[in-house]
């Protein structure tokens, strides 16, 4: 199963792309599994991952949410500031 993940802001700059694809040996990974695969596949994201969340179909996703290949997935970097 292949899932496309859109990247914005600092994660996109770190990777040098606004979209990456993650391959799984099994169907329907959870949000936590997708985050783990992203971190393993893209070590440059290691520092950004603790403060990042997944959005699936325009809504924040839990770590337990099952993700399908047709879902629109984005990695959202949490930032702070005023």
d(C-alpha 36, C-alpha 33), whole Å: 5
DSSP state at residue 26: S
Q: What is the DSSP string of 39-64?
A: HHH-GGGTTTGGGEEEEETTEE--TT
Q: What is the pLDDT of residue 8?
A: 87
Q: What is the pLDDT of residues 11-45, one digit of tens each?
A: 899 999 999 999 988 888 999 999 999 999 999 98
Res. 81 pLDDT band, cuts 50 70 90 = low
Chain Cα centroid distance, residue 3: 9
Rounded to an integer, what distance in angstroms lies between the CA atom of residue 36 and that of residue 49?
9
Identify the CATH homologous superfamily for domain 2-77. Beta-grasp domain (3.10.20.30)
pLDDT over 60 (residue 82): no
Give the model's pLDDT for residue 62: 94
Average model confidence (pLDDT) for the chain? Answer: 90
Q: What is the pLDDT of residue 79?
A: 67
What is the rounded CA–CA span in Å between residue 50 and residue 21? Answer: 20
């Amino acid at each position: 199963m292949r899932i496309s993940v859109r990247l914005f802001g600092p994660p996109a700059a770190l990777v040098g792309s606004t979209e990456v694809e993650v391959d799984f040996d099994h169907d329907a990974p959870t949000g936590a599994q997708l985050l783990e695969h992203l971190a393993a596949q893209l070590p440059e994201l290691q520092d950004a991952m603790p403060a990042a969340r997944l959005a699936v179909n325009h809504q924040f996703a839990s770590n337990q949410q099952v993700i399908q290949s047709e879902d629109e997935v984005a990695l959202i970097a949490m930032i702070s500031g005023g």
